[in-house]
Amino acid sequence: MKVLTYIEHGKFALTEKPKPDILDPRDAVVRVTLGSICTSDLHIKHGSVPRAVPGITVGHEMVGVVESVGSAVTTVRPGDRVTVNVETFCGECFFCQHGYVNNCTDPNGGWALGCRIDGGQAEFVRVPYADQGLNKIPDSVSDEQALFVGDVLATGFWAARISEITEDDTVLIIGAGPTGICTLLCVMLKHPKRIIVCEKDPARIAFVREHYPNVLTCTPEECKAFTIANSDHGGADVVLEVAGAKDTFCLAWDCARPNAIVTVVALYDEAQTLPLPDMYGKNLTFKTGGVDGCDCAEILALIEAGKIDTTPLITHRFKLEDIEEAYRIFENKLDGVIKIVITP
Ligand SMILES: [Zn+2]
Ligand SMILES: [Zn+2]
C-alpha cells in the first residue's frame, strides 16, 4: 500500500509498505477513508520530536472503517465507521485510570501513531488498544465532520476542559490556527463572558470574524492593551496559548490577570523561559500539554447534536498520491490553508 514515510530529518516521501496485520489481540486494522495533516507532522519533519522514529509512516489524524479486529477487541467490529485517537493508551494503568491517557505507561503509550509506530497517511493503519483508540461515528455524522475528533479537536476540548472556565471569565486564546480554532469552539461551549482571539495572520483573523462574530480579535502587538481594555480585572481570567511562536508564551502570561490560569497547549520548537522574578506576585497557575484524548465519545455526541462543527476548517482536499503537494501548501501556509483532507 501507499504510505507517507518519515525518511530523515527534513524529509518525508511516498513509499510502498505491506498492509498492516493484527499483531496483538487488542489491535484493530482500519481502512483509512480520510486523513489530514497536522502541525505536529511538521514538527517531526523539522526534527523537534526527538522520539519520532525514522522509517515510520506519519499521520495521526484519520477516520476510517474497521477492516479486522484482534480476538480481545470488544467495542468495534469490522465494518464500523470509526474515529482514530492520536493517543495509544491501555485503559488500565494508573494514568489511564485517572484520565491522564497521554502518560499511559505502556511502551507505546501517548502519541505513538505516526510518530513511533506506523500512522495514518496511508491506506490502512494498525491501531493498538482498539477498544480505547477507536470510537464509532454516529450514522448522522459524516467522515469530514468527524475527521478532527481524535487529535486537533480532542486537543481543543481537553484544553477547554482543564482551564476551569466560568461564565464570568474573559478568555484569551492566542493563535487561530487549526488547534486554536478547535480550542475556540470548545471554549464557546463553556459560555464565558468574553472570548478574545489573538492572531497575527489577517486571513485567520478574517476567518474568525466571519464564522464567530461574537468573538473579539486582536493582533499580538495590540494584545496586552486590548485584553486589559476588554476584561474586568486587568487582564484575562484564563489564557490558552495555542500559537507556539517565539514570543507567545511570554505574551500569554503577560496578558493574564493575577491568579489567572494559563494553559499551554502549544508545542514549541525551542525551549521557553519562565522569568519568575518578572511574574512574582502574579500567582499564576500554569497547565501544560499534551492532550489527554479520552473524551472522543463525548465530542462525537456534541457533533451529532450540532454543537461543534469543524467542517469550516477544511479548506483543501488532496488524494494520498498528491500528499507531498498538500504538505507544500500546508507547511508554507499558502492559499489560505487551514486544514487539508487527504483521501487514500
Ligand atoms: Zn496532531
Ligand atoms: Zn495506560
Domain ranges for the chain? 2-151+292-343, 156-288
Å from CA of 216 to ligand 1 middle: 26
Å from CA of 78 to ligand 2 middle: 25
Q: Are 2-151+292-343 and 156-288 the same fold in CATH?
A: no
- CATH number of the structural domain 156-288: 3.40.50.720
Ligand number nearest CA of 94 is: 2
Ligand number nearest CA of 147 is: 1
Ligand number nearest CA of 109 is: 2
- Alpha-carbon span 17 to 103, nearest angstrom: 30
How confident is the prediction along the chain (344 residues), in pLDDT tens digits per residue?
Answer: 999 999 999 999 999 999 999 999 999 999 999 999 999 999 999 988 889 999 999 999 999 999 999 999 999 999 999 999 999 999 999 999 999 999 999 998 999 999 999 999 999 999 999 999 999 999 999 999 999 999 999 999 999 999 999 999 999 999 999 999 999 999 999 999 999 999 999 999 999 999 999 999 999 999 999 999 999 999 999 999 999 999 999 999 999 999 999 999 998 878 999 999 999 999 999 999 889 999 999 999 999 999 999 999 999 999 999 999 999 999 999 999 999 999 99
Supply φ then ψ for residue 31, to 5 degrees: -80, 115
- CATH number of the structural domain 2-151+292-343: 3.90.180.10
Cell matching residue 90: 491501555
Å from CA of 42 to ligand 1 middle: 9
Å from CA of 277 to ligand 1 middle: 34
- Alpha-carbon span 186 to 184, nearest angstrom: 5
One-letter identity of residue 258? P
Å from CA of 67 to ligand 1 middle: 24
Ligand number nearest CA of 293 is: 1
Output b/e per residue, 78-102; b: 16+ Cβ within 10 A: eebbbbbbbbbbbeebebbeeeebb
Å from CA of 118 to ligand 1 middle: 14
Å from CA of 215 to ligand 1 middle: 25
Å from CA of 29 to ligand 2 middle: 20
Contact 119, 113 (CB under 8 A): yes
Ligand number nearest CA of 93 is: 2
